[in-house]
């Protein structure tokens, strides 16, 4: 994604400025996204420390995975 953004949105005449703009845009989107992902992951780790919850979580994720593939299997 970064390579495509650099190839698409950088301007050769003002290369450094356009690279900085793309970099800042990536940072503005990335920092909140990664922070949210890490926060939920940390909370989920604590919640899944119970073996029963972990088992049901894994079963649920497996079912959702199969259901997401169902349209391709038709």
Per-residue pLDDT tens for 23-32? 999 999 999 9
Please tell me the predicted confidence (pLDDT) of residue 54: 96
Write out pLDDT tens, residues 11-52. Answer: 999 999 999 999 999 999 999 999 999 999 999 999 999 999
Please tell me the predicted confidence (pLDDT) of residue 41: 93
Domain range annotation of the chain = 2-73
> Cα–Cα distance between 74 and 47 in angstroms, integer?
36
Residue in the structure block whose two tokens are 């190839």: 7
DSSP 11-69: -GGGHHHHHHHHHHHHHHHHHHHHHHHHHHHHHHHHHTTSHHHHHHHHHHHHHHHHHHH
pLDDT at 2 exceeding the cut of 90: no
pLDDT at 74 exceeding the cut of 80: no
Q: How far apart are the first and last CA of the chain?
A: 31
């Amino acid at each position: 994604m970064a390579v495509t953004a650099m190839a698409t949105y950088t301007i050769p005449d003002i290369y450094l400025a356009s690279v900085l703009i793309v970099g800042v845009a990536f940072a503005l989107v990335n920092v909140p996204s990664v922070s949210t992902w890490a926060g939920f992951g940390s909370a989920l780790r604590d919640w899944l420390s119970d073996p029963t919850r972990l088992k049901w979580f894994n079963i649920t994720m497996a079912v959702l995975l199969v259901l997401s593939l169902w349209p391709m299997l038709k």
